[in-house]
Homo-oligomer: A and B are copies of this chain.
């Protein structure tokens, strides 16, 4: 029942690890919103607040507040009572976020995770995968396809 040794690492190193997670979380809402807005524009022609809120499972005022922040930070534009548009910056973030999300999703499928679980897990995992790890994921997806 004894647990394996786990020597403490350098305090400053460890602090940098947690700092990086906090940074990832700071971008998370932004990435999920622009990705969703882009999906809605592609498939429905426009992104309405009511639909963004419904798909996130939150209230319209909550979604509206975050949209205001996204506008403040230059990811979207929106006028009162109108639908939401992505800026170039927002579109670029949406594209890269979706690409990363898709790789994480396909990777999970490739190693044998079910569709349903892959969909659930990838929504959270996507924001914490480094470029290096993403590269490894891509390689494994390719190998799987070959077989």
Please give the residue numbers on chain A whose beta carbons come within 8 Å of chain B beta carbons, in ascending order.
3-4, 6-9, 11, 14-21, 24-25, 32, 39-40, 42-44, 51, 54-58, 95, 98, 102, 108, 111-114, 117-121, 123-125, 127-130, 132-133, 136, 139-140
Cα–Cα, bound, A83→B42 (Å): 55
| B130–A117 touching, CB < 8 Å | yes
Cα–Cα, bound, A25→B7 (Å): 27
Cα–Cα, bound, A124→B123 (Å): 13
**6 smallest A-B Cβ distances: which pairs?**
A15-B57, A124-B128, A21-B124, A117-B132, A14-B55, A125-B128
Residues of B within 8 Å of A16, CB to CB, are: 57
| B8–A39 touching, CB < 8 Å | yes
A21: nearest chain-B partner, CB-CB: B124
